[in-house]
Amino acid sequence: MVSRTALAGLAAIFAAGAWLIAAPFVLRYQPAGAPWTGAARLDVVVGAVLAVAGFAGFFTALAGRVRELYAAAAPRTGAAPE
Amino acid sequence: MAPLAFGYQGPGLRKAALTDRATGAGLALVSLVTLVCWVVAWRRKLRADGILAGTSHWQARREARAQRRRQRDGEGTARTPDPAQVLSELRALLVPLLAEPANGQVVNGQALAGIPEPRDEPGEFGEPEGSRPEPDDEPSDHAASGEPDYYQATSDVYPAGHGVPAGHGVPAGHGVPAGHGVPAGHGNQAAASGPAVPAARSGGLASIESMLAGSELLMVGGGEEEAW
């Protein structure tokens, strides 16, 4: 349960980054074709960093969990853990 | 903090400031929850792997407090009896048995049923031959039938009407054939029908006493209750 909540938190960070990237265009404080404002540029950069961090963290944690499941299943199946 | 740092001023930047503040607050909350969840998960895993202590500091303090409270209430002493005191009580219980007559069968006019004697050769422990109850003192039907003498001795131990109570003898299927046990109140008849209880001899409680002394030595030498 706790591990799932932590994974959900990482997914939420990724979603927040994605939202920050899309917010200037969704809320139209960055008109299309106009020079980028400082606010839009900052939101996109911070959103990209958050999205990358959330994505990497989520899949890293998921890979660790899968590895633990494989290690736990190895004694039962007789397969050697790698 | 970006709206404050960069001074989002202007008609279109109000939405940007609101978006940044709301997203920042939400991110801080989500990050805090995620961090707490990861810390709890890691600690559980470390505790399961034995790297962290099994109990936390607060839990250990709580258990120590409860232990002190139990000791103060006297529960602690009741749960762990003193082995030396137990041995003393056992010895006090055995004193009337050790002070039995020479034939070792009757204490206060009651038969000692249920204490089997070792099947040793006569005189193995230096006991005088005359100390054994002689089966020839009474007329024996078994001598004529060729049965061993301990049948008669068994009938001495379990007289008529005072046999081994039902359910206290050798259980069925444990070495005694069916129908050869000693039913209640029929000691003589059962003794005549087959082997049920070996003959009792005097000095048999000496073996119990030696066992008691041996266990006491074990306890003293080992210094642990596991020596029992």
Please, what is the average pLDDT of chain B? 65
Percent share of chain B, pLDDT over 70: 42
Q: Which residues pair with B106 in a beta bridge?
A: B111
Closest to A2 (Cα-Cα) out of B29, B43, B54 = B43
Residue pairs spanning A and B at CB distance below 8 A: 72
Q: Is the pLDDT of residue B177 over 90?
A: no
B7, two tokens: 């001074």
Q: What is the interface pTM, i.e. ipTM, of the complex?
A: 0.73
Chain B: residue whose CA lies nearest to A14: B27
Spatial neighbors of B78 by CB under 8 A, at least 6 apart, are none
Q: Is the pLDDT of residue B146 over 60?
A: no
Q: Is the pLDDT of residue B10 over 60?
A: yes
Q: Is the pLDDT of residue A48 over 70?
A: yes
Residues of A in contact with B28 (CB under 8 A): none
Q: Give the model confidence (pLDDT) of B90-103 as tens digits.
A: 888 888 887 765 55
Q: Which of residues 43-72 of A touch B (CB under 8 A)?
A: 43, 46, 50
Q: Is the pLDDT of residue B119 over 70?
A: no
Contact A50 B27 (CB under 8 A): yes
Closest to A50 (Cα-Cα) out of A1, A79, A80, A9 = A9
Q: Give the model confidence (pLDDT) of B161-175 as tens digits.
A: 444 444 444 444 444
Helix, coil or strand: residue B110: strand
Measured between CB atoms, does B44 come within 8 Å of chain A? yes
Please, what is the average pLDDT of chain A? 86
Q: Give the model confidence (pLDDT) of B14-70 as tens digits.
A: 778 888 888 889 989 988 988 898 888 888 888 888 887 766 677 788 888 888 888
Measured N-to-C along each axis, helices A38-77 and A2-26 cross at an angle, to the nearest 10 degrees, of: 150
Cα→Cα distances B8→A47, B3, B85, Å: 18, 5, 85
Contact A2 B41 (CB under 8 A): yes
Measured N-to-C along each axis, helices B205-222 and B83-98 cross at an angle, to the nearest 10 degrees, of: 170
Highest mean pLDDT: which range of A28-32, A59-63, B112-116, B222-226: A59-63
What is the predicted pLDDT for the residue at B167?
46
**C-beta atoms surrounding B7 within 10 Å:** 11
